[in-house]
Amino acid sequence: MKKVNHRNSISRILGAALALMLVFSTTAFAQDDAAVAAGKALFNANCAACHKLDSKSTGPALRGVEARLAEDEGLDREWLYKWIRNSSALIKSGDRYANKVFEENKRSVMTAFPTFSNEDIDNILAYTAQPKPIPPKPEITPGEETAGGGFSTQVVLIALIVLFGLLALGLFLVNKTLRKFAVANGTLNIEKEVKRPSLWKAFVQNQFLVIVSVIFLMLGAAYFAYGYFMQVGVDQGYQPIQPIHYSHRIHAGDNKIECKYCHSSARVSKHSGIPSLNVCMNCHKNIAQVSDDVQREGVTKYGVDYNKEIQKLYNATGWDPAQQDYVNEPKPVKWVRIHNLPDFVYFNHSQHVSVAGVECQTCHGEIQEMEIVEQHAPLTMGWCINCHRDTDVNFKGNAYYEKIHEQLKDKYGVETFKAAKMGALECGKCHY
């Protein structure tokens, strides 16, 4: 009994100690967590425009910056306070490390944050001192699931086929045995076939039937021949592989970037230009990798490694993410043109986009959902003409049309006009 008592007391003490420890540790963690969370909010709002935690951006990577400075340069938190509140003053004061950092980062001036309190800066430093989270192992479950789904449907299909085969075999056997019985009983008379003219001969002898079927055959042949010739030179559905996989689904769909951000010349010129790569780099200087979710989706669903595609962009522009500068020889990208009108047609994007205000999707389809772009419209003359017949001219806020609009209103006594009424069906509008 004594022993048991003894054990009890020890476990009690241990329990109390554990409880005490837990209480302390949770409060300690809670304080720490609050500091880190506050630091993260401040960091994302103020610092993240130029600093990343783990890679160089406009400014240096900041994970563990305090420890790094203390170890390598012997600088304390006081120095960081001064630097963050007014880095320019520190540089001017001739501080050795301040000048070194300034030179190392292409003389970019860091915005001064005089309003930060010591506590704010402490919080930010607490956030940057967090160890790097270990990336979760990529789950293969989605792939397995789909594979499993495909497997099970296949199994079901095969089972069904086998089942039907057995059923057919059974019926055939039953039929055969029944027939045998019938023959044995003498109830089934196997008829002697009466000599009749074959179906083919009967058909040939019936001239009316021959003429009708010939007419039908010719009409059918004409129908198919017409369809065949009409699709010559029509590239609807053309979906070439581009040298760099660019997903309109992600850029225009998920991120809702305006079409005209990249295709800016659609506003002002005949062509809706392919953006030069500096436009890509406006964002991808900062975005060197897609998020883990997007990457996983790309690999499992579309079979594309998006990070590799961004790397291709860097190779083409000569950008080195480590140095944050264009150091290598640029190589032009040979994009494959999808939409191509023949040389004998004139089409002007700015007239349709800026003047008429036609949405890009009207002709190009739901681009923001396309992983790989394909030609949505047939781009045939009939297709152009139909749209010109159906579409009202956009007179609003267009001084160019004011006078003619008034005149046409008087002449026809209507408010709106189809493009066709304004000469959009004239040959010379597009062919000259």
Partner 1 sequence: MKSLIKIGVVFGAALLMTSCFDKSQPNYQYFPNMYESIGYEAYQEVNGVPYGGFETKMEAQIPADGTIKRGWMPYDYDNTNEGYEAAKAELLNPIPTTEESLAKGKELYGIYCAVCHGNKGDGQGTLAKREKFLGIPKYNDPARAITEGSIYHVIMYGKNNMGSHANQLNTKERWQVVQYVLKLKSELK
By CB under 8 A, name the binding residues for partner 1.
43-50, 57-58, 107-109, 111-115, 231-235, 237-241, 254-258, 260-261, 264, 268, 271, 273-274, 276, 278-279, 281-283, 285-287, 332, 334-335, 337, 340, 342-344, 374
Handedness of CA 309, 314, 315, 316 (dihedral sign): positive
Q: Which is nearer to partner 1, 175 or 282 (CB)?
A: 282
Structure tokens at 150: 């495909």
| Both structure tokens of 135 | 């990336």
Residue count of the chain, please give it.
432
Nearest-approach distance from CB 48 to partner 1, in angstroms: 3
State which H helix or E strand residue 157 sits in.
helix 141-185
* Least distance in angstroms from the C-beta of 240 to partner 1: 5
* Half-sphere exposure for 365 (CA within 13 Å, toward CB): 18
Least distance to partner 1, CB of residue 142, Å: 22
Q: Which is nearer to partner 1, 70 or 333 (CB)?
A: 333
Considering beta carbons, is residue 395 or 417 the nearer one to partner 1? 395
Q: Which is nearer to partner 1, 78 or 343 (CB)?
A: 343
Q: How many alpha carbons fall within 13 Å on the CB side of residue 328?
A: 16
Cβ proximity of 363 and 248 under 8 Å: no
Q: How far is the CB of 93 from partner 1 (least distance, A)?
A: 17
Answer for the pair 245, 304: CB distance below 8 angstroms, yes or no: yes
First to last CA, the chain: 111
Give the nearest distance from C-beta 397 to partner 1 in angstroms.
9
Residue 96 vs 337, nearer CB to partner 1 = 337
Residues 6+ apart with CB under 8 A from 238: 338, 374, 375
**Beta carbon of residue 12, minimum distance to partner 1 (angstroms, whole number):** 49
Beta carbons within 8 Å of 289's beta carbon, 6+ residues apart: 295, 307, 310
Nearer to partner 1, 195 or 256 (CB): 256
| Minimum CB distance to partner 1, residue 73 (Å) | 24
- How near is the Cβ of 259 to partner 1 at its closest, in Å? 9
Closest CB to partner 1 among residues 287, 322: 287
Tokens 């495909």 belong to 150
Of 74 and 237, nearer to partner 1 (C-beta) is 237
Q: Minimum CB separation from partner 1 for residue 297, in Å? A: 15
In the bound state with partner 1, the residue whose beta carbon lies nearer, of 11 and 88, is: 88
Residue 67 C-beta: closest distance to partner 1, Å: 23
Give the DSSP letter string of 192-253: PPP----HHHHHHH-HHHHHHHHHHHHHHHHHHHHHHHHTTT--TT--PPPSS---HIIIII
Give the residue with the Cβ less far from partner 1, 326 or 422: 326
Residue in the block written with tokens 């499993």: 148
CA distance 13 to 280: 65
Q: Which segments of 302-345 does DSSP mark as H helices, in order?
A: 306-317
Give the position of tokens 């241990």.
14
CA-angle at 70, arms to 66 and 75, nearest 5° = 95
